[in-house]
A and B are shown apart, each in its own frame.
Chain A
Amino acid sequence: MGGYAFHVWTSWGLSALVLLGLFINAKLTNAKIKREIARQIQREQAQQTTESTKIS
């Protein structure tokens, strides 16, 4: 890289890191939201069963 290896590879490396970070962040958020909603559904189902047992 003609004496500019540090500058060129730092720039390209940082770019790769930024893209990777955005990608991983989006994927982790997706898993987190799906987990949250699944838990919410479970909670509500548990509540419904306790309510129905109370009524009966």
Chain B
Amino acid sequence: VNPFTIAWNILARFYHRLASPREFYAISRYVTPVFGLLFLGFTIAGSYYGLYVAPADYQQGDSYRIIFVHVPAAWSSLFIYVIMATAGAIGLIWRMKMAFVVAICSAPIGAAFTALALVTGSIWGKPIWGTWWVWDARLTSELILLFLYFGVMALYYAFDERKIAERAMALLCVVGVVIVPIIHYSVEWWSSLHQGATVFREGGPAMPPSMLMPLLYMALGFTFFYGYVLFLRAQNMVLSNERNSRWVRDLIVAGKHETA
């Protein structure tokens, strides 16, 4: 038997299981706490190394420690939009219900991380650049990303018919993803106050390991947090969407007896 066929069959079976809201709910009950624990582990370790172990920067002093929340928030803001665009495309092409749920449930998390990246950047900019805000390419494009997140949410809640809402929202996810490369390359294409890429650049990261390690820990922590809250929100949406189905009712009734 061809190993490719075996791998394909496993993948197909997994896809079909995830595509069913009920199976997704069952799987997510196991995955969610794992993501939560990974988030806690990486974030606690990253905070300890970032705030106490990593040395101060020779130019920016201790102010650079904002990087350990600013950059993970900014990376997540891009990563989440890419996930939304991918999920949106899968939903539109293969009519996969759960892909729409993943896309719409990601939007508030992405918006929160984008706002956090903008605000922490502002707080970092004041002492180092001498200003809270400039209308340069990096800052402006990241602000547009925030409005895209708002747009995705507004579009979804603008329609009463859920199927139309899902398709409209997914379309904006797919079209809007063009902002991601623009944000990434904005510091190369236009002159900017914002520094260039420090980690993902040719010739490797321009950071010593003592600073790079906590940054990567925090980035992983934020990513797992996104996964954690995404699964929580997706569970909520599955329960709400499937409220008239037998399995949700059995689950709720069983849960009531458990707590009572």
Given contacts A7-B124, A11-B123, contact A22 B116 (CB under 8 A): no
CA distance A2 to B60 in the complex (A): 10
Main secondary structure of the interface of B (DSSP, over half): helix
- What residues of chain B lie closer than 8 Å to A48, measured between beta carbons? none
* CB-nearest residue of chain A to B243: A37
Tell me, yes or no, whether B12 is within 8 Å of chain A by CB.
Answer: no
Main secondary structure of the interface of A (DSSP, over half): helix
CA distance A56 to B70 in the complex (A): 68
Given contacts A18-B112, A26-B232, A34-B252, contact A8 B66 (CB under 8 A): yes
Tell me, yes or no, whether A33 is within 8 Å of chain B by CB.
Answer: yes
Residues from 2 to 48 in A contacting B, C-beta threshold 8 Å:
2-5, 7-8, 10-12, 14-15, 18-19, 21-23, 25-27, 29-30, 33-34, 36-38, 40-41
CA distance A46 to B233 in the complex (A): 31
Q: How far is the CB of A1 from chain B (nearest CB, A)?
A: 4
CA distance A23 to B226 in the complex (A): 10
- What residues of chain B lie closer than 8 Å to A40, measured between beta carbons? 243
Tell me, yes or no, whether B59 is within 8 Å of chain A by CB.
Answer: no
Is A11 within 8 A of B66, CB to CB? Answer: yes
Please report the total number of B residues contacting A with Cβ < 8 Å. 39
Is B116 within 8 A of A15, CB to CB? Answer: yes
CA distance A11 to B69 in the complex (A): 7
30 cross-chain CB contacts under 8 A: A1-B62, A1-B65, A2-B56, A2-B62, A2-B63, A3-B62, A4-B65, A7-B63, A7-B123, A7-B124, A8-B51, A10-B123, A11-B66, A11-B69, A12-B69, A14-B116, A15-B69, A18-B116, A22-B108, A22-B225, A23-B228, A26-B229, A26-B232, A27-B232, A30-B239, A33-B236, A37-B249, A41-B249, A41-B252, A41-B253
Q: Which are the 4 A-B pairs with shortest beta-carbon distances? A: A26-B232, A4-B63, A2-B62, A15-B69
